[in-house]
Amino acid sequence: MGLQGHVAKSGLEPALLHLVYLRVSQINGCAFCVDMHSKDLTALGETAERLNMLVVWREARSFSSRERVALAYSEALTTLSRDGVPDDVYAQALAEFGDTLLVELTLAIGTINVWNRLSIAFHTEPGSYKAPSHG
């Protein structure tokens, strides 16, 4: 929880973080986290269209350049191969976020991967999460 709190105060935009959390949760098949971060994004004003298109974000035109870089980096870290993160994906992420925020984004991606594994391992039931009010 401490790491999650740190990332929340990192300077990364909350909506960007939740997009990353949702995409990683989709990849990992964590129903509880997909439900949670969809609700968090909705509470932040995210549209149903963008939520629906997140799984195919490369083809969707509704994601900004910054979001695309974050999503590509998130997918590369979540589906790590023996070769690690591709050099071009890392270079784009570093150029977009800089040293400090890229460390924070990496922590955020690592954190959601751990939460996904915990929720999946312990069969956390989706549906009960209520998003905090942001207005």
Q: How many helical (H) and strand (E) elements, i.e. helices and strands, does the chain have?
A: 6, 0
pLDDT digits (tens, 9 = 90+) for 35-67: 999 999 999 999 999 999 999 999 999 999 999
What's this model's pTM, rounded to 2 decimal places? Answer: 0.95
Of the chain, the percentage scoring pLDDT greater than 90 comes to 93
Q: What is the DSSP string of 92-105?
A: HHHHHHHHHHHHHH
Return the CATH number of 2-121, one of 3.20.20.70, 3.40.50.80, 1.20.1290.10, 3.40.50.1820: 1.20.1290.10
Residue spans per domain, the chain: 2-121
Q: What is the pLDDT of residue 1?
A: 85
User: Would you say 49 and 66 are in contact if contact means Cβ atoms under 8 Å apart?
Assistant: no
pLDDT of 134 over the 80 cut: no
Q: What is the pLDDT of residue 135?
A: 56
User: Would you say 39 and 71 are in contact if contact means Cβ atoms under 8 Å apart?
Assistant: no
DSSP state of 54: G
pLDDT digits (tens, 9 = 90+) for 82-126: 999 999 999 999 999 999 999 999 999 999 999 999 999 999 999
Q: Which of 97, 98, 107 is nearest to 8 (CA)?
A: 107
